[in-house]
Amino acid sequence: MQLAGQAAQGQAVWAVRVAPAALGHPVDIEKIRQAAIEAAHLEGFNRSPQDVTLRRLISFALSPTLKSSFEQIFSPPIMVEAIFAEVADSPEQDVLVRMHYDGNHHYQTSGVLVAHTDAKREEEAAVWLRQALGPADSLGRAAGACMLAWRTLTEDKPFSDLTVRGDLPLKANGKVAETALLDRKASGSVHYRTLSPAALTS
């Protein structure tokens, strides 16, 4: 999700380098996406482009939206589990957010964030990925490690003695994983791009 807006005079154009991954009903996911876009527009117009950060979007727009949906009497609550990522000017400033359906959320700046129904297993996978991956690893190896962690979680296997051996195919049980990249070095305001399996092995 590329969140972008333009000032009323049409001169000052700004963009936020944010991307989400979410599970839930498509209508609920779209509500969250629209809420994020509207909040980014308002924040950038009323304040400045620099004020449009993922932390502010989550804390002042998305989290309250999810929490208040449970107070509505005549409409069902928004049921979405999501991860948000923001790419900054340097890796040290990058932010990941794990947001639950009830609006509760936590921030992660270590570069790895995992979503799972079991919080303990979720943390085990995240710890293993931090140890298995390094800054110099290829996109293919990083994607393969994530696939290996996902398989380990879904098969309820331990992470002890688990190692990444080369690039793993992004397929499991006849399904192909979706991959995307927030490219810090991309020119222009759009830093989000999808990655095909071929792009990860080239």
Does a structural domain hold residue 202? no
Do both 139 and 94 map to the same domain? no
Number of separate domains in the chain: 2
Q: Work out the pLDDT band at 201, boundaries 50, 70, 90.
A: low
In a domain, 104, yes or no: yes
R_g (Cα) of the chain, nearest Å:
18
d(CA 6, CA 136): 37
- Are residues 42 and 109 located together in one domain of the fold? yes
Same domain, 3 and 99: yes
Digit-coded pLDDT (tens) for 108-134 = 988 899 998 898 999 999 999 999 998
CA atoms within 13 A on the CB side of 3: 27
Q: How much helix, strand and coil, in percent to the nearest 5, is found in the chain? A: 40, 20, 40
**Domain termination residue (choose one: 113, 133, 167):** 113
Q: Does one domain contain both 14 and 101?
A: yes
Range of the domain at 166: 116-197
Q: Are residues 149 and 186 in the same domain?
A: yes
DSSP structure string for 8-46: TTS--EEEE-EEEEEEE-HHHHHHHHHHHHHHHHHHHHH
Q: Where do the H-state alpha helices sit in the chain?
A: 26-46, 54-57, 63-69, 119-132, 139-154, 197-201
177 phi/psi in degrees, rounded to 5: -70, 145
88: pLDDT strictly greater than 90 = no
- The answer to whether position 17 is within a domain reads yes
The DSSP call for residue 125 is H
What is the per-residue pLDDT across 166-199, written as a single tens digit (0 to 9) for each?
A: 666 777 777 778 888 898 888 877 888 888 877 7
Q: What is the largest CA-CA distance in the chain?
A: 59
* pLDDT surpasses 80 at 58: yes
Do 131 and 93 have their domain in common?
no
| Lowest-pLDDT choice from 45-54, 106-115, 134-143 | 45-54
pLDDT reading at 9 higher than 60:
no
**21 vs 3: CA distance, rounded Å:** 14
Final residue before a domain boundary, out of 59, 86, 113: 113
Q: Give the residue from 86, 113, 140 where a domain finishes.
A: 113
